[in-house]
């Protein structure tokens, strides 16, 4: 077998299973003496069997081809010219051998399995929503095929009609168009071949890098793991953001909501978390729902520039995509993540954002004439998100031990977290990071409001080293914020109050972090220890950020063994604490000159 790969097209009357495609590829690989990869295209016009086109060779094993050749023979046409319904093709009279045997067996299988197809006819079409009669045995969520290769999902099952939302070719479906049942729900490719790729919610590539070579296909709707399949969340999912890892820790298998007004840094937190998973073995999935195409492009470019695309899959349903595509996008991303989770790997999935997902679902529901409820959302809007987010879990060892951590993003209006969709998702998730625009515009970034943010997993998902140095951090910040308000009205402050204010100012500066610059856990522990022990009170506030970066460089140069030990053991000893104190004193002599 040579190393180069021959590519071709495989036409089939109906969608084939991945293992069937592999079998056909193997037969042709034997014939050609090198690897053959075939791109499947569904063409109902060929009736049954398959057609394979490789280079200038066409292997026609279809029912339509047989009929055409019979017709050609009867009309006395020149041998080898066949009308396959896809144009006149040159057909070499080659020895089919095992390939021919395999194709003939497929035809025989087709002949041996006659059946009655469940069909219907479109009676109304518009705005991407179709009403069809017939389809008596149609199931909810079933994938339906229309004439012209348009596909849709059955949404409303009524006595005589079925309400269908179209996934593609919306303009090709009109009144009178035939619709066929497939007996399947929407399936998408999953596996290692998706890493580094940008796909649409149907798993089709958007990055121009060729076909997706999937390990297998998986239904987008899956039952969430049960109680007995899960175990407690006890491993940290490091975000690389000091303010979050120290006070609002996230665990592997947790569902942590990121909530705030637009332009407050929600996506930035999610991207920093993805960047921080480099070399950790965590697979990342970024699902863009209803975002501007330019915004999604910027995210992809950032991931590529930083090398994060190597372990990331991007599922994109932009604002220009149809409401059905935006609706299925998060379920597609979740199905891709579940494949890795069930194979024992850790997965991080970002849904950006579920506010737009809810709006897409509301659009579909209103077009399907479902009864509207609060804010015109349908009554099952809560179930929409709960069945998605409940699929994120940490599995026990008997089920592979993998995990999927979800970071859903929700946009608020004027900081109102009591809205319908925000309160729904807050009640489903294991905590929330609340981003405040006042903090953002004051230059405190990430703009996390510590008072309104919470992690319901908490210290259970925090390393011992981080828990030891961040114990009083939240309390000190709360005291600082409270005293900061009262100090504006007081003319004279006592020594202890001044010290609390000075300490709070320095902690606030330490917690500030530039975008796309996540911090390693060991560096976070060292910086927090120095700040919490009040070792930085003599460093001017306006120099804290410079001190922070230069001190990390100093530690890496002269105390790398200590950094490595904290990283490996995830703990900090008394001797290391003393060593950090000495290092701070030594560095301040140089820094404050």
Smallest Cα–Cα separation from 128: which of 291, 360, 288? 360
Please report whether residue 219 resides in a domain.
no
d(CA 134, CA 158): 11
Percent of the chain predicted with pLDDT > 70:
90
330 in the same domain as 302: yes
**274 in Cβ contact with 303 (< 8 Å):** yes
Smallest Cα–Cα separation from 180: which of 143, 217, 229? 143
CATH of the domain at 399: 3.40.50.300
pLDDT at 82: 33
Domain termination site, one of 462, 493, 523: 462
| 166 φ/ψ angles, rounded to the nearest 5 degrees | -85, 140
Please report whether residue 218 resides in a domain.
no
CATH of the domain at 143: 2.40.30.20
Q: Kindly name the residue from 370, 387, 456, 481 that is annotated as catalytic.
A: 456
pLDDT at 17: 81
* pLDDT tens digit sequence for 9-54: 888 888 888 878 888 888 888 888 888 888 888 888 887 788 888 8
446 in the same domain as 297: yes
Whose structure tokens read 């709006």? 359
**360 in Cβ contact with 233 (< 8 Å):** no
**Cα Dmax for the chain:** 110
Active site residue 262: no
pLDDT at 106: 55
458 in the same domain as 318: yes
360 in the same domain as 287: yes
* pLDDT tens digit sequence for 266-281: 999 999 999 999 999 9
68 in the same domain as 198: no
Q: How far from chain centre, in Å, is Cα 592? A: 46
543 in the same domain as 452: no
Please report whether residue 221 resides in a domain.
no
Q: How far from chain centre, in Å, is Cα 27? A: 36
Low-confidence ranges of the chain (pLDDT < 70): 1-3, 68-117, 489-491
Domain termination site, one of 78, 112, 146: 112
pLDDT at 497: 85
208 in the same domain as 172: no
Please report whether residue 220 resides in a domain.
no
Percent of the chain predicted with pLDDT > 90:
65
454 in the same domain as 317: yes
Please report whether residue 306 resides in a domain.
yes
Please report whether residue 139 resides in a domain.
yes
441 in the same domain as 327: yes
The rounded mean pLDDT for the chain is 88
Domain count within the chain: 4
CATH of the domain at 507: 1.20.150.20
pTM of the model: 0.80
**411 in Cβ contact with 353 (< 8 Å):** yes
Domain termination site, one of 77, 112, 147: 112
350 in the same domain as 235: yes
Smallest Cα–Cα separation from 50: which of 73, 33, 25? 25
Provide the domain limits for residue 40.
2-112
163 in the same domain as 245: no
Smallest Cα–Cα separation from 355: which of 398, 412, 316, 306? 412
- Concatenating the DSSP letter of every residue in 158-201 gives -SSEEEEEE-S-GGG--TT-EEEEEEEE-EEEESGGGTT-EE-T
d(CA 320, CA 496): 58
Please report whether residue 449 resides in a domain.
yes
126 in the same domain as 97: no
The three-state secondary structure class of 512 is coil
């Amino acid at each position: 077998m040579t190393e180069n790969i021959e590519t071709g097209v495989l036409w089939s009357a109906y969608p084939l299973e991945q293992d069937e495609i592999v079998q056909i590829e193997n037969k042709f690989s034997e014939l050609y003496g090198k690897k053959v990869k075939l791109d499947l295209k569904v063409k109902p016009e060929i009736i049954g069997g398959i057609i394979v086109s490789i280079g200038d060779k066409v292997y026609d094993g279809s029912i339509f081809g047989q009929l055409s050749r019979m017709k050609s023979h009867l009309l006395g046409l020149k041998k080898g010219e066949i009308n396959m319904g896809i144009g006149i093709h040159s057909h070499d009279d080659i020895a089919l051998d095992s390939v021919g045997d395999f194709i003939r067996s497929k035809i025989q299988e087709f002949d041996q399995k006659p059946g009655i197809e469940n069909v219907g006819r479109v009676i109304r079409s518009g705005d991407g929503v179709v009403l069809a009669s017939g389809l008596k045995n149609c199931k909810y969520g079933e994938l339906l095929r229309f004439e012209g290769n348009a596909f849709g999902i059955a949404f409303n099952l009524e006595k005589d009609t079925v309400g269908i939302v179209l996934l593609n070719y919306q303009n090709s479906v009109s009144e009178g168009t035939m619709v066929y049942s497939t007996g399947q729900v929407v399936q998408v490719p999953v596996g290692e071949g998706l890493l580094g790729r940008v796909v649409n919610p149907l798993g089709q590539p958007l990055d121009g890098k060729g076909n997706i070579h999937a390990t297998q296909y998986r239904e987008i709707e899956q039952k969430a793991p049960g109680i007995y399949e899960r175990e407690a969340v006890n491993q940290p999912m490091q975000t690389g953001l000091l303010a979050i890892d120290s006070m609002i820790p996230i665990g592997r298998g947790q569902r942590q909501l990121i909530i705030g007004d637009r332009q407050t840094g929600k996506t930035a937190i999610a991207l920093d978390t993805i960047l921080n998973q480099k070399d950790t073995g965590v697979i990342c999935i970024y699902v863009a729902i209803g975002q501007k195409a330019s915004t999604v492009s910027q995210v992809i470019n950032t991931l590529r520039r930083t090398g994060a695309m190597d372990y990331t899959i991007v599922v994109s349903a932009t604002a220009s995509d149809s409401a059905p595509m935006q609706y299925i996008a998060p379920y597609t991303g979740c199905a891709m993540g579940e494949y890795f989770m069930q194979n024992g790997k850790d997965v991080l999935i970002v849904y950006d954002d579920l506010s737009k997902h809810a709006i897409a679902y509301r659009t579909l529901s209103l077009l399907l004439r479902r009864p509207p409820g609060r804010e015109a959302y349908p009554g099952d809007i809560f179930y929409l998100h709960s069945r998605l987010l409940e699929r994120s879990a940490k599995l026990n060892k008997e089920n592979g031990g993998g995990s999927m951590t979800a970071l859903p993003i929700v946009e608020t209006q004027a900081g109102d977290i009591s809205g319908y969709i925000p309160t729904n998702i807050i009640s489903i998730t294991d905590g929330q990071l609340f981003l405040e625009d006042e903090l953002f515009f004051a230059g405190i970034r990430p703009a996390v409001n510590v008072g309104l943010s919470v992690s319901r997993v908490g210290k259970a998902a925090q390393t011992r080293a981080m828990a030891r140095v961040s114990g009083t951090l939240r309390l000190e910040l709360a005291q600082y914020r409270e005293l900061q308000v009262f100090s504006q009205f007081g003319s004279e402050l006592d020594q202890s109050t001044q010290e609390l204010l000075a300490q709070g100012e320095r902690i606030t500066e330490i917690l500030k972090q530039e975008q796309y610059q996540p911090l390693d856990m060991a560096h976070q522990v060292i910086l927090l220890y120095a700040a919490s022990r009040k070792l930085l009170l003599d460093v001017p506030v306006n120099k804290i950020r410079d001190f922070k970066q230069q001190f990390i460089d100093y530690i890496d140069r002269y105390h790398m063994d200590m950094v490595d030990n904290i990283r490996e053991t995830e703990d900090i000893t008394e001797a290391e604490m003393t060593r950090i104190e000495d290092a701070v004193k030594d560095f301040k002599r140089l820094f404050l000159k």
